[in-house]
Amino acid sequence: MMKLILIRLLLLGLLFCSASHAEERILNFHSILELRSDGSMLVEERILVQAEGIKIKRGIYRDFPTTYRDKLGNRVTIGFELLSVSRDGRSEPYHTERRDNGIRIYAGQEQVFLNRGHYEYTFRYLTNRHLGFFADHDELYWNVTG
């Protein structure tokens, strides 16, 4: 009888341990696009993450493609101007790095480690060359998540 009680307590403890272990991941990705009369776009992206110190230790990064091939094989270069980066509504230090097909934005500081928890990062930028105007329709060519 005592062994059965101990086994049940052990199983119950394991259940609570696994339930309290949060998974590190993106919880929400929300984009707001403002199309401007000159064909450019003002973009605000809000990315809510659960940080556990596994991969999200100091902050997050966001890749933005600035070159691609159109359907005729021509290389197209996209304009990109980063306006601001914030974490939980406050300005966040960042730096950028050129990649083969674009820019990587690193949000956070190398010396500052995040506590476990939820963080909302906001990226605001201007971009252009995403609109196509055709005889029978207009088109927004947009890769939301990079």
* 7: pLDDT strictly greater than 70: no
Residue 9 banded pLDDT, cuts 50, 70, 90: low
Q: How many domains does the chain have?
A: 1
* 18: pLDDT strictly greater than 80: no
Across all residues in the chain, what is the average pLDDT?
A: 88
Q: State percent of the chain over pLDDT 70.
A: 85
Determine, yes or no, domain membership for 14: no
Residue ranges making up the domain that contains 46: 23-140
Angle in degrees, CA 86, 90, 91, rounded to 5: 55
* 44: pLDDT strictly greater than 50: yes
pLDDT of residue 21: 61
CA–CA gap between residue 26 and residue 20 (Å, rounded): 18
Average pLDDT for 119-124: 99
CATH of the domain at 75: 2.60.40.1730
Determine, yes or no, domain membership for 59: yes
CA–CA gap between residue 32 and residue 49 (Å, rounded): 18
* 16: pLDDT strictly greater than 70: no
pLDDT of residue 138: 86
pLDDT of residue 49: 98
Determine, yes or no, domain membership for 4: no
Global confidence as pTM? 0.81
Determine, yes or no, domain membership for 7: no
Determine, yes or no, domain membership for 129: yes
Determine, yes or no, domain membership for 8: no
* 3: pLDDT strictly greater than 60: no
pLDDT of residue 22: 74
* 37: pLDDT strictly greater than 70: yes
Sequence-ordered list of residues with C-beta below 8 angstroms from that of 47, at least 6 positions apart, any chain: 26, 28, 29, 30, 60, 62, 120, 121, 122, 123
